[in-house]
Amino acid sequence: MNNKKTTKHHHSTQPGMADVIWENIKVFLTAVVLALIIKTSVVEAYKVPTGSMEDTILIGDFLIANKFVYGAKIPLTGWRLPAISDPKPGDVVVFTYPGDRVTSYVKRLVAVEGQKIEIKNKILYVDGMIVPDAPEAKHTDSRVYPRGNNAMGSRDNWGPYTVPKDCYFMMGDNRDLSYDSRFWGSVHKDLILGKAMIIHWSWSEDNNSPEVTATDPLTVPRSFVYNTLHFFDRVRWGRLLTVFN
């Protein structure tokens, strides 16, 4: 009787290098797609470079806008998701500047379609009623320019003007130093990006901080070292997580 040994061939179940690479690519692409969906449809962060909304928003504040509440745009389409609520007077709104349809602006919405606006000696009237300034709003120039005195006349005395259909009238809280709807008109609803939700970071200005330039690579490490040493002085700790009403 012949005893024959049976040899079993075990096939390796370990994935090959190509499989590992493909799995990592799928994970990466999924993360990128999710990040794009969140950025374009849910929330987005913005840095504020100007003082037009002082003292509500300061230069160097980083805010997060809720893009979902007004009906987020669906990427690569002209469609919007259903809005939870429409923009209303008093909201701090992020939108695309009508002048170039590229730059993101943040202002306070003061009137919606059909409402009549007039500014008399710096005082804002909507539908004939005085609109009180926001708690942190301010005027920095005591001079009052008459109507028709170039751009300054538009600043202090303006209107009456009725906001067109599907449009919003925006003004900065720093009323004397804001380039807003008084100068370039209303904002169409298609340009609305989101509602300012929270200040998640705030970095104060420092004129002594080394300027980073493309012509001198050494400015990068100089700036990094300087800002590291002055980190705790430059962060506006009291502004972190400030919520917009």
Q: Is 178 a catalytic residue?
A: no
> Of residues 52, 178, 181, 202, which has the active-site annotation?
52
Residue 186 CB contacts under 8 Å (≥ 6 apart), including other chains: 163, 164, 167, 168, 169, 170
- Annotated active-site residue 107? The verdict is yes
- Give 136-142's long-range contacts (Cβ < 8 A, gap of 24+): 136/54, 136/55, 136/56, 136/173, 137/55, 137/56, 137/108, 137/173, 137/174, 137/175, 138/54, 138/55, 138/173, 138/174, 138/175, 139/175, 139/176, 140/174, 140/176, 140/177, 141/176, 141/177
On whether the CB atoms of residues 127 and 116 are closer than 8 A, the answer is: yes
Q: Which residue out of 41, 67, 73, 107 is catalytically annotated?
A: 107
Catalytic residue numbers read 52, 107
